[in-house]
Structures are given as C-alpha cells and as structure tokens.
Amino acid sequence: MPEGKIVKALAGFYYVLDGERFVQCRGRGLFRKNKITPLVGDEVVYQAENDKEGTIIEVLPRKNELVRPPISNVDQAILVFSAIEPAFSTLLLDRFLVLVEANGIEPVICISKTDLIESAELKENILSFASDYQEAGYRVFQTSAENMEGISSLGPLFEDKISVFAGQSGVGKSSLLNAIKPDLALKTDDISSHLGRGKHTTRHVELIAIDSGLIADTPGFSSLDFTGIEVQDLGHCFPEIRERAGDCKFRGCTHVSEPKCAVKEAVQKGEIKEYRYTHYLSFLEEIKDRKPRY
C-alpha cells in the first residue's frame, strides 16, 4: 500500500502528497465510527483507485497534534512578534512559548518590523529582550520584510520540517513568508492559496512547500488557554526553570513558597529574568483557578 502526507483537508477530502503526486482521498468509513479524524500533517497509508483518487486506510502514529489549528507532526513554531505596531509583549510571547513547549514543538522567536524602530530607547529594549530569550535557551531572529534584515537566516530553519507561523494579527507573518519565498504571493491581510483558492473563506489548514520544508498556511493559534497543561507541567515549559528544577530540595517543587528552591534562588541572582518568573506565577494561578472539566 502506498504512503503519503496529508497537506490539505477540505470539505471531507484529504489531499495526500506522495512524492510529487497529489492524491485526493476520502477517509475510511470506519474512521468516524472509531472517532479517528485524519489531520493535515498526518503520515497515512492509502489505497489508490486511480492516479488521482484514493481512500485513506490508516493514519500512522503522530508525534504531536494541535487542536486549533488542527494539524499534526509539527516540528517547530515560528513565533512572530513585531517590535512595534503592535508593541512587543513579553507576556503574550511567554503564553505562546508555553503552549508550544507543552506540545513538544520547538519554538523559534522572530521579532519582525525592525525597520520601524526609530527611537534609541526602543531599539535598546528590543535588543535586551532578544538577549534575555537567547540566554533562556531560545533561538531569536530580528527581521524586516521591508529591508530584508535577517530574512536569509530564516530560510535554513524550514529544511525537512513542518513549521507553523503564529503570532498576533498584524505582526507581519504573511509579509515574512513573501520575503522568504516571493513566488508565494501571499496576501498580507488574508493568506491566499497556491492550490487555487482566493482569500481564506474557512479556517482550514494547508501545508505550503518552501524548498525541502512545509509551512502551515493557517491563521495560527486561535486559542491561547492552558487546557491540558497541569500545575506540575508548567515549569517544564520554561527552559531556564526546567534546567534548574532538579536542584530544588523538594521533588515536585512548584517554585512558589517551598524552601531551598533553586529556581527562586536563580531569580534572586538575576540568572532567571524576574518578568519571566512573574509570568510563570501568573500562569500557575490561571491553571490552579481553571474550572475542572468533566
């Protein structure tokens, strides 16, 4: 049986990429009965009726999956945050980072619109934040789709990976993709499709080829709540907390009021940025206050 990857799902059809060939497939009737929903990004086994049509027989095991957007087997998330318009927000960035880390996806921080920085103070602030996140263990890129700053360094990130772009509306995700691969001609207000669609009329996901990689054509994360993340999981979603947690006196330390906590000690020494720790505490309270789901 041939195998391939679902690169688009629309109106009950799954478009499977097998080598350089697209096969339009339906799912097996048993999928619905067994509550199996094939997702864009899935590796599947299919049965071909002819050169262009087939039926998906089996969905192979996933390494991860996202609910919103519905996509699986994501390798990395490019988190695009503008230096200005809208203003750079460490609180929102940390929320995105936690969601990405919790799903076992490698985050990459991309600070966009650097060409709009006019004041020396803002430039210094952005450089400081970039340095903070690099020290915490993240890859950080400063870019401008306008003057092409940093664009060439983004290209190699996508090689042999499935990537998603995420960030606030208006941060320039489509402009960045156009700068990386101009022939995509993505609209900067609504992403258009290389497979014949116009503007987004639905919120379905599609994978676009960029060299040897695939990027999700999607509006990004539409839900930013911490559903599925438990109190004991949160510290693992902050690299600088994760690497010090083993040195805490008590196993299962939540790094709040426990004595001899290596994380709090690192905050006091300035080794963990205070605003990152403050965001951790805020997210922890949010998770604790979450209403139980039955």
pLDDT, tens digit, for every residue of 118-141? 999 999 999 999 999 999 999 999
pLDDT tens digit sequence for 208-240: 888 789 998 665 665 678 888 999 999 999 999
For residues 136 and 70, which has the higher predicted lDDT (pLDDT)?
A: 136
**What is the per-residue pLDDT for 203?**
57
Provide the 3-class DSSP secondary structure of residue 86. Answer: coil
CATH of domain 71-217: 3.40.50.300
Read off the pLDDT of residues 28-39 as tens digits, 9 standing for 90 and up. 988 988 989 999
- Residue 186's pLDDT band, with cuts at 50, 70 and 90, is low
Q: Count Cβ neighbours within 10 Å for each residue of 198-217 and write b for 16 or more, e otherwise.
A: eebeeebbbbbebeebbbbb
The CATH 3.40.50.300 portion of the chain extends over 71-217
Q: List pLDDT tens digits, range 248-261.
A: 999 999 999 999 99
For residue 78, pLDDT beyond 80: yes
Given a cut of 90, whether residue 116 has pLDDT beyond it is yes
265 has pLDDT over 70: yes
Q: Which residues of 17-55 are buried (b: 16+ CB within 10 A; e: fewer)?
A: beeeeebebbbbeebeeeeeebbbbbbbebebeeeeebe
Q: Which residue ranges does the chain devote to CATH 1.10.40.50?
A: 231-288
| CATH architecture label of 3-61 | Beta Barrel (2.40)
